Amino acid sequence: MGLVQRGAGRGEGAETDAVLGEAAPERLHGKTKCSMLAQAMNGKNAQFAPLEALPPGALVHLDVVQVSEGSSTPLFGLDTAALAARMIEAGEPTWRGRQLAEAIYRQRVADVGSITTLPKALRERLAAEGWQMGRPRIIQVFQSVDGTERYLVQGHDGAAQTVETVWMPEGDEGESGDGSEEAAEGREPEAATGAGKSWSRATICVSSQVGCAVNCQFCLTAKLGLQRNLSAGEIAGQVVAVFDRHSVEVGRDRVNLVFMGMGEPFLNYDNFMASVRLLVQEVGLSPQRMTVSTSGIVPGIERFAQEPPEFRPKLAISLNAPNDEVRAEIMPINRKWPIEAVVEAVRGIRLRPRERITFEYVLLGGVTDRPEHAKEVARLVRRTGLPAKVNLIAWNPGPGIPYAMPQPDAVERFRRTLAGEGVPTYLRRPRGRDIYAACGQLKRTVEGDSRV
């Protein structure tokens, strides 16, 4: 049975048909938000084939993997020390913990029975005792014509609410909060990617919660409210599942992570940071290739400032407005933590050499995109005294959200004004727009929810 999803038209006014294979109808309302995927109005839209010119089947492919895990204890999400403790409890030597961690996070072995470094009898015993790998799995894949992929990822035990993750080969053309400025500056990537791969660098946009409690007025995710926090394993597992799909070789391939999917990472602080430690310590990634974005949760930023540099990603702040008055209107959280309080907390971070704070700025037509706003933002950024850059994101519309997209010339003028004032400024280019891969549009289906 082939099901057809009719997506809401955006920007160019196109309506998109997507063939969704065998998926259950209640799963079909997924929209993607990823801050890396803004539909930037930068005149580069021509690189995309017009949506209406493409046959529907070309827009989205869908793989559905049946998940049949029963109730069990997941190993994925435990670090080496915790795995070792479990092994000791099971009467095994400590080093079995290291062996397990190696298999789970480095070799990315999919199930306990396939960990061939463990004796067969031990594998069988672990399985009989209810131990399972429990690694989050990709259960649906949406592919864009530009190579971007959006995934629904299911946690251990087939958690009812799946998570959204986005893969963007070739990053998003350099600077965009993905931590990499190399492409933007025309530099060659440091390391060559493994032969046979169609990409030389990539960015993965990771979710930290299902839904979000912060209630930014322009964001579709906010409409869900907070459904639940993701566990450390579910956050890190998104990355490992995507690595597996694209045969990413850690230490060789250049992959950046941005925690800019669904949710507010600093309102799920402990799990978020535990996932970073897993990704650094167990998977082997550098925190300097990770960027976390926050709406400005001051206690979270203060804790973040205390993290040791070896486990601290780079930071992006969703500024989104030129002053407290406008910001409080579009981001009610500003009434609790106004701009200066956020900036003061950010000043507490000991930045690495050449590290900069990213200020993300969503351009809302007529609301935050006026020329005087650009001047005000430049003054604000300079006043912070922080080494900083600004990432401009043209607002992506969503149903029931009463804002307008900015005019392309307003976006360009804004960019030029900021840059002219000496503020390093970047505009995100659109990625994956044919699969609803646009910032602020990720309102993943809550199963059974048809409010989209």
Q: Where on the chain is the footprint of ligand SF4 (CB under 6 A)?
A: 212, 214-216, 219, 221-222, 263-264, 295, 318
Distant-in-sequence, close-in-space partners of 53: CB < 8 Å, separation ≥ 6: none
Quick check: 231 binds ligand SAH (CB under 6 A)? Answer: no
Pair of tokens at residue 172:
């998003």
CB of 107 to ligand SF4, least distance (A): 34
For this structure, is 216 an active site residue? no
Q: Going along 86-212, which residue ranges are E strands? A: 131-132, 137-143, 149-154, 163-169, 201-205, 209-211
Task: Name the minimum Å distance from CB 316 to ligand SF4.
Answer: 11
Stretch 320-379 residues interacting with ligand SAH (CB under 6 A):
320, 360, 362
Q: Which of 92, 164, 282, 360 is catalytic?
A: 164
Classified as helix, coil or strand, 422 is coil
The answer to whether the CB of 397 falls within 8 A of the CB of 433 is: no
CB distance 224 to 92 below 8 Å = no
Write out the H or E segment, with its range, that includes residue 257.
strand 254-259
Given candidates 76, 105, 151, 218, which one binds ligand SAH under the rule CB under 6 A? 218
Say whether residue 395 binds ligand SAH (CB under 6 A).
yes
268 binds ligand SAH (CB under 6 A): no
**Secondary element (H or E) of residue 269:** helix 269-277
How do 201-205 and 254-259 pair as beta strands? parallel
With contacts defined by CB under 6 A, name the span among 191-199, 272-280, 290-298, 379-387 that binds ligand SAH. 290-298
Q: What single DSSP character describes residue 370?
A: S
Partner interacting with residue 238 (select from ligand SF4, ligand SAH, none; CB below 5-8 Å by kind): none
Stretch that binds ligand SAH, among 84-92, 234-242, 391-399, 410-418 (CB under 6 A): 391-399
Give the contact letters, 11-50, x = binds to ligand SAH (CB under 6 A), - = no: ------------------------x--x------------
Of residues 151-170, those binding ligand SAH (CB under 6 A): none
CA-to-CA separations, 194 to 113, 175, 182, 186, 254, in angstroms, rounded: 29, 23, 19, 21, 10
Name 18's bridge partners. 5
Nearest distance, CB of residue 149 and ligand SAH, angstroms: 19
Q: Return the number of the residue (38 or 435) whose C-beta is nearest ligand SAH.
A: 38
First to last CA, the chain: 23
164 an active-site residue? yes
Q: How far is Cα 388 from Cα 313, in angstroms, rounded to an integer?
A: 15
What is the set of active-site residues? 164, 439
Residues that bind ligand SAH (CB under 6 A): 35, 38, 212, 218-219, 260, 264, 293-295, 318, 320, 360, 362, 393, 395-396, 398, 439-440
